[in-house]
Amino acid sequence: MALPAFLLVIGVLVTFHEFGHYVAARYCGVKVLEFSIGFGKPLLTWQRGETSWKIGWILLGGFVRMLDSREVPVSADELPRAFNQRPPWQKILISIAGPLANLLLAVVLFFVVMQGEQTRLLPYVGSVAPQSAAAAAGVLPGDRIRAVNDTEVADWHALRGGLGDAIALDGRMVLYLTRDGVDMTLAVDLPAFGLQQLDEQSLARLGLSPLRYHLALGELAPGGAAARAGLRQGDRLLGADGRLLTSWPAWVSYVQARPGQAIRLRIRRDGQLREVVLTPDSSERNGQKVGRIGAGALPDVAWQQKIEQQVTVGAGRRCSRRWHARLASWHPVCV
């Protein structure tokens, strides 16, 4: 599969490259004798006008052969149409027309691929990580962020840009949000939580995520602590060690803080209450031991549909929204 794809790409590039030379030569009045894609014995040959068109069996290059009095005798009436008889600027134009055609092809393909309909996420807060900068400021799941430091935000991409601006302003960040129809203003202390430079994990460290998960188990890793304890996909998590569980982020923090420690977990399965003893495995992260059970979260599809919005965007805007493909990394969905 890789070889045919490689030959197809090379064939397209060579064709556009040689066609650039051909068009420029015709524009300058130079007679084109032969246009060939590929080398070796021709697989296909046809004559159109004064040019012989060929496709060779080795599709790794091509050529455009023009009339040239240095190569073959040229009659007096066709001498003006010889390449070597054209002015210098025309020779230069014909020579660079091939690379320019490839450049034009790249630009056209870029806009074709990048143009189209995209999904953006409205600036609703799906989850707030416990003990994070956002949690300390009082941000709650369901809040809609309208502006950051007086700059309006239309989606999560703009929110990330506002975070970067706030970091540049010595960590001064004010969120203007709406909660249950009431407008609110919250100040977020970024430096106190180590948010002093913008990177891919800045929003995660801020504690905000557009995503929301049911407090239930998604896919389980075979042989993981959750699977060994008899847990199943779809189990609803109610409490741990007598404490009420309120959110998936809270559950992640609870597990990570207890590597190798038994947890008495209360769950609901098929409408029935059960108790399971779960002992998280111990793994190392950033030099510290954290608990892991080998379980993913169950996404809240209804919430995701609520915050998604289809928009038609151009190439530049589409490139700027590549962040959408990385949303899952903003919040710990596996533990």
* Catalytic residue set: 18
Determine the Cα angle at 38 with ends 34 and 40, to 5°: 90
Residue 12, φ and ψ in degrees, nearest 5: -65, -45
Neighbours of 128 (CB within 10 A): 25
d(CA 53, CA 33): 9
| CB-based burial, 264-286: b 16+ in 10 Å, e otherwise | ebbbebeeeeeeeebbbbeeeee
H helical segments located in the chain:
2-27, 88-114, 133-137, 156-168, 202-206, 225-228, 248-256, 301-307, 315-320
SS (H, E, C) 225-278: HHHHCCCCCCCEEEEECCEECCCHHHHHHHHHCCCCCCEEEEEEECCEEEEEEE
Distance of CA 255 to the CA centre of its chain: 30
Which residues fall within 8 angstroms of residue 319, CB to CB, at 6 or more apart?
A: 114
Residue 162, φ and ψ in degrees, nearest 5: -65, -35
